[in-house]
Each structure stands twice: as C-alpha cells, then as structure tokens.
Amino acid sequence: MASLRVLVGCKRVIDYAVKVRVRPDKLGVVTDGVKHSMNPFDEIAIEEAVRLKEKKIAKEIVAVSCGPAKCQETLRTALAMGADRAIHVEIAEKEYEGIGPLQVSKMLAKLAKDEDANLFIVGKQAIDDDCNQTGQMLASYLDWPQATFASEVVVEDGDLKVTREVDGGLETVKVKMPCVITADLRLNEPRYATLPNIMKAKKKPMLKKKPADLGVDMTPHVEVLKVDDPPTREAGVKVESAEELVSKLKDVGCI
C-alpha cells in the first residue's frame, strides 16, 4: 500500500512574527541578523506529507529547499517534523536575490523527475514575496494535474480527492497522480519537533546540489524597482458625543 514518494518544497523566509524593515536602498527588506524560519504554508505541506506516511499511503518524504546555505536549518526542521531525507539546492546569497518562482519551480520539476516523485506538495504561497506561483508553475513544467489551495486531501481509488478553498466556498476536485498540491491554511495544524525527533533528524541524509546540476538557467526575469513600507496610519481623534462624530464625518466628507 505504502507506495508514494512525496516531495515537499520548504522555503526559508523571515519569521512570521518579525517586523519587516525596508532596506535603505529601497530594493528589498533587511534580512541580515533577522530571525528566519520555515514558510508557515510549507510547514503545513510537510505536516500533510507526514500524515500520509503515518497512514501508510506515503513510503518516503523528501524535503527540498532552494537557497543559501542557511536553508539547511529549514530542512533540518522538516526532517524533525518527519521527512525522511532532504535535498538542498545551494544558491549563493547574491544570485538568490535575483531569482523567483520561475527558476525555483524549474529546479523543483527537475528534482521531481530525478526522484521519481508521485506527489509534490508545496505551500500555496510564501509569506515573504506572496507570489503564489511556484506550485502552479511546477505543475505546468511537469505537465501534471494540480489542486491548489487544498484544505483537505484524501486518497480515493488511487486518486486524490482534494477540497479547495475558493472565493466564498469550497470546491472538491479529483486529481490523478502524479500531481501537485498547494497547501492552504486550514489543511492541518503542523506539529512541532520534540527532542527525540530533533536527535534523529541530525542523522538523516541531506543531499547537496547546485542549480547547474539541475540544468536550470538562473538569469533573473523580474527586476525589483522599488520596495515601500505600507503607509503609516495617522493619529485619530477622540470625540465626546454622537453629534460631534456626525459633524466630524461631515467635515471629512464621509457622510
């Protein structure tokens, strides 16, 4: 029964709890000395894969990350959550700045082929660039069906029945494997790694690759022109009575 090899994409991003600061050159955000962790949606993706393994549907989980050396910490987290092994595609810091979902999805597609994957789960988007493109591009490069924004995944007659979170409701689709799934928020609640899992994770294999090994062209296709802070909120005013509120609203032309 346990037959699937599941690949999961894990991106290292600025931690969700960190207050992000724009760089003085306005071409990116400050990353030096800032706490990073696994993209929350990718944690959900790993969790789903581990659950498939616990149900004996998956036989092996391979966590994959493309990026600078520090991505290995992210991969160790994935291994401690229950992935069996990891692949790190190492990209120099400078080069990594220029690339995006296009190059990453090409690398993931090549790995999916090399590893003979049956299922690729990625987060629906990363909380740093909010692109929401990698899963879709990956499916397209592989020419595999995809089920995006998944909130439930069940195996039915060898196919996957996936519930998708769509605007204002849910949609249920059936996809044949191999396929790509992108994880939405409500798919599951990821577990955290306990000490025994962490200890064993250190012994799990981590394969290192370079983009050139995968034959992917790393030429940037998108140029960042400017990064701005969100507009700062102006201070409000206190009103004493309903009458005053109404007159203030009239003053600013709201009513």
Residues 91-110 as x/- pattern, contact with other proteins by CB under 8 A: --------------------
**Residue 13 C-beta: closest distance to other proteins, Å:** 12
17 forms part of the interface with other proteins (CB under 8 A): yes
CA distance linking residue 144 with residue 208, whole number of Å? 26
Closest to other proteins by CB, 59 or 161: 59
223 neighbors 101 (Cβ within 8 angstroms): no
Contact status: 202 vs other proteins (CB under 8 A): yes
Residue 138 Cβ vs other proteins, minimum distance, rounded to whole Å: 20
Residues between 41 and 60 with contacts to other proteins, criterion CB under 8 A: 50, 53-54, 56, 59-60
Q: Does 80 bind other proteins (CB under 8 A)?
A: yes
**Is residue 116 near other proteins by the rule CB under 8 A?**
no
* Binding stretches for other proteins (CB under 8 A): 16-17, 40, 50, 53-54, 56, 59-61, 73, 76-77, 80-82, 84-85, 125, 127, 130, 132, 167, 184-185, 191-200, 202-205
